[in-house]
Amino acid sequence: FHPERTVVSVPTADGPIDIGGEGPLVCMAGPCSVESEAMILETARRVKQAGARILRGGPYKPRTSPYDFQGHGESALELLAAARTATGLAIVTEVMDTSDLEAIAEVADIVQIGARNMQNYSLLKKVGQQPKPVLLKRAFSATIDEWLLAAEYILAAGNPNVILCERGIRTFDRQYTRNTLDLAAVPVLRSITHLPVIVDPSHGTGLSQFVESCSKAAVAIGADGLMIEVHPDPARALSDGPQCLTPDEFDAAMANLASIALAV
């Protein structure tokens, strides 16, 4: 039993970033994968200017095909650390394997568990035993109870700082969107859990043209934050180009979101 909402506080050089509770909307933004030093530094600077406080980006990518780009690994992790030093942004990045956790948790301010690993219970236990906050993405076909029980693995292992991320689920129509963004999950979760909830409209829709409208809806329905993919040149992205906003598009989306965030 837990009557108060959990506020996950991420310490940074510019002061703590609070996710959940009554604080302002927190935006995590950046590329799908960390491709090069120039692109991660440029993206970091631009998303920070636009108002994001947390930089996302994957050195380790869980790709559906083994023949697709798998991420640059350790060298990209160092680039994320460099981007944090250069901008002061906090870092969220995905861990796929328990053997990489220690190195990732050294750089990450928030450790991400991707949709494909939501029910990787040995990984959940391990992230539960380390102190960095955990962003737990919903699996493609997970019910809300399965998702909350996955979160429970992390909490039960000793880590109280879990953020839930709705990123779209698999339904019958994949012609117009990559996934079906389950926005109703936000108020549902609000009514049954104390954990903060954010929304990822990039993976949720799979198409950049729908990211801003779904971000607005997510804010209006009560999300504590957003995760948005931004790439300096989406057409050349090594992964998820079609759903990445350009830095200019991200600027516009953040400006348009501000009025909604103030209104709700």
Separation between Cα atoms, residue 30 and residue 28, nearest integer Å: 7
Asked if 261 and 24 touch (Cβ cutoff 8 Å), the reply is yes
Give the DSSP letter string of 147-194.
HHHHHHHHHHTT---EEEEE--B--S--SS-SSB--TTHHHHHHHH--
Write down the least CB distance from residue 32 to Mn ion, Å. 3
First to last CA, the chain: 28
DSSP assignment letter at 222: T
Nearer to ligand PEP, 53 or 56 (CB): 56
Residue 201 binding result from Mn ion, ligand PEP, none, given CB thresholds of 5 to 8 Å by partner type: none
Query: Does residue 216 touch ligand PEP according to CB under 6 A?
Result: no
For residue 243 the two structure tokens come to 């759903």
- Sole window of 24-32, 80-88, 142-150, 213-221 interacting with Mn ion (rule: CB under 5 A): 24-32
The count of chain residues that interact with ligand PEP, using the rule CB under 6 A, is: 10
Separation between Cα atoms, residue 219 and residue 43, nearest integer Å: 23
Separation between Cα atoms, residue 150 and residue 145, nearest integer Å: 9
- Which of 62, 73, 158, 187 contacts ligand PEP by CB under 6 A? 62
Which residues within the stretch 89-108 sit at the binding site for ligand PEP (CB under 6 A)? Answer: 94
Residue 72 binding result from Mn ion, ligand PEP, none, given CB thresholds of 5 to 8 Å by partner type: none
- Which of 31, 59, 71, 114 contacts ligand PEP by CB under 6 A? 114
Q: Which residue has the tokens 């990045």?
A: 93
Asked if 118 and 139 touch (Cβ cutoff 8 Å), the reply is yes
- Which of 25, 115, 169, 237 contacts ligand PEP by CB under 6 A? 115
Residue 62 binding result from Mn ion, ligand PEP, none, given CB thresholds of 5 to 8 Å by partner type: ligand PEP
Report CA Rg, the chain.
17
- Which of 30, 31, 58, 59 contacts ligand PEP by CB under 6 A? 58
- Which of 17, 27, 28, 32 contacts ligand PEP by CB under 6 A? 32
Name the residues that contact Mn ion, by CB under 5 A.
32, 240
Name the residues that contact ligand PEP, by CB under 6 A.
32, 58, 62, 94, 114-116, 137, 167, 203
